[in-house]
Structure 1
Amino acid sequence: MPFSIKPKLFIVTGSNGAGKSTYRQYLLPPEFSYLDVFDGDLFYTRKSIEFYKIHGSSKEARKQAEEALEQEFLRMVDHSVTQRIHFAYEGHFTGAGAWKIPQRFKAEGFEIHLIFCGLNTVTKSIKRVDERVKEGGFHVTPLAIQNNFYGNMEMLEKNYQMFNSVEILDTSSDQILQVAKLEHGRPMFSLPADEIPEWFKNGMPKLYDIVLAIDS
Structure 2
Amino acid sequence: MPTLYIIAGSNGAGKSSAGPDLLPTALIDKHAPFDGDKLKSVKQLEFRNQLRCSYKEAGKLADEFVDKTFETQYKSALAQNEDFVYEGHFTEEESWTLIGLFKKAGYQVNMLFMGLATLEVSQDRVFKRAMNGGHNVPIYEIEKNYYGNLYKLNQHFDLIDELIILDSSEELVLHLATKKGNTLVFHISPTEIPQWFSKGLPDLFKQGTFTEM
1:198 aligned onto 2:195? yes
Q: After superposition, what is the alpha-carbon deviation per residue over 1:127-174, rounded to whole angstroms, capped at 9, x for unaligned?
A: 001111112222222222122111111111111111111110000011
What's 2:205 paired with?
A: 208
Question: Do structure 1's residue 94 and structure 2's residue 57 form an aligned pair?
Answer: no
> In structure 1, how many angstroms separate the alpha carbons of the residues matched to 2:138 and 2:60?
17
Deviations 1:87-109 (A, max 9, x none): 11011111111212211111111
Q: 2:5 aligns with which of 6, 10, 31?
A: 10
Q: Which moved more, 1:26-35 or 1:54-63?
A: 26-35
For 2:177 and 2:24, the matched residues in 1 are separated by 15
Query: Do the aligned residues in 2 keep the contact of 1:162 with 1:184 (CA within 8 Å)?
Result: no
The code of the aligned residue for 2:6 comes to I
Write out the 4+ residue segments of structure 1 that deviate beyond 4 Å after TM superposition: none
Deviation at 1:60, TM superposition (A): 3.3
Task: Kindly indicate whether residue 60 of structure 2 is the aligned counterpart of residue 60 of structure 1.
Answer: no
Q: Following the alignment from structure 1 to structure 2, what is the Cα–Cα distance between the partners of residues 109 and 46?
A: 34
Question: Structure 1 CA distance, aligned partners of 2:189 and 2:7?
Answer: 24
Identical-residue share of aligned pairs (%): 35
Note the aligned Cα RMSD (angstroms). Answer: 1.6
Aligned 8 A contact 1:165 1:185 in 2: no
Matching residue of 1:26: 21
TM-score (norm 2): 0.92
SS in 2 for 1:57: coil
Which deviates more from structure 2 when the two are superposed, residues 51-60 or residues 11-20?
Answer: 51-60
2: CA distance, partners of 1:174 / 1:213: 24
> How big is each residue's C-alpha offset from its partner over 1:45-88, in whole Å with a ceiling of 9 and x where there is no partner?
11112212211113332222111111100000100000011111
State the one-letter code of the partner of 2:96.
Answer: W
Who is 1:40 aligned against? Answer: 36
Q: How does 1:1-216 map to 2 (within 5 A)?
A: 6-34=1-29, 35-58=31-54, 59-212=56-209
Q: Output the TM-score relative to the length of structure 1.
A: 0.91
CA contact (8 A) 1:190 1:212 kept: no
**How many residues in Structure 1 have an aligned counterpart in Structure 2?**
210
Distance 1:9 1:26 in 2: 16
What are the ranges of 5 or more consecutive residues in structure 2 without an aligned counterpart? none
